[in-house]
Amino acid sequence: MHKEPFRFCESCDADCIFKKKHLRKMVKKMNSANILSYNSDEWVFEAGEPIVGFYIICKGVVREISHHSIGNNITLRLLKPGDILIGDAFLDGQKWYKTTAKSLTETTALFLDRTIFSKIVEEADEVITREIANSMKSLRNNIELSSCSVRERTAYWLLMLDEGMSNHFFLTNDELAEIVGCSSVTISKTLSKFESKGIIYKTRRKMNIKDLRKLKKHADCSGLNGPV
């Protein structure tokens, strides 16, 4: 990880809290923000580390992970440009992270010190509240998702990765297996079945979604609410 000269995310969309000019001025004036860059497969933060702030993803994909008591790692969220990375431990006022966040691709994030969180909430309450609700929904859904089949979990996370990515993205089998929570051999067999059915097309790293409708059907797990 390394710091870059401060700037606001170029990818800031209609829902971004920093579309509001007065918020930009406030953050610049308080000097409580930095741009941080991460290589692929690099820790953003780890469980047990002190919470010093929160992040807005500018570029790339970040995976937030829960370390389950029985030893399994559960993927809680995949965060992409515009998403706010803010754990429930932060919202509970705790001092240490309970989850881990790791970059899946080369990633750039806007880091904001926790001391200015209350000020930002005052000015952008609707956006922050929506992000918190989405975070809690992801936590509930993805713990439930752990009981679904590998096929269903794979389809679910492919849909999550595909959101906003124009039906293609770059990911190895090992990386996808880690997200889904299975072996590389199992994920390879699952992807081969999807490919034989014309749902996806995959080279060594590039994944193309060819039939989104069929993929959504495979993501159905006992009525679990997914990105469909």
11-20, 171-180, 184-193: the lowest-pLDDT one: 11-20
- The domain locations on the chain are 2-145, 150-218
Helices of type H across 79-220: 88-91, 117-123, 125-145, 150-162, 173-180, 184-196, 212-218
CATH superfamily of 2-145: Jelly Rolls (2.60.120.10)
**pLDDT at residue 189, as a whole number:** 94
Q: Which residue has the higher pLDDT, 67 or 128?
A: 67
**pLDDT at residue 228, as a whole number:** 38
Instruction: Please tell me the class of the 150-218 domain.
Output: mainly alpha
**pLDDT at residue 164, as a whole number:** 57
Q: What is the mean pLDDT of the chain?
A: 79
Average pLDDT over residues 58-78: 78
**pLDDT at residue 190, as a whole number:** 95
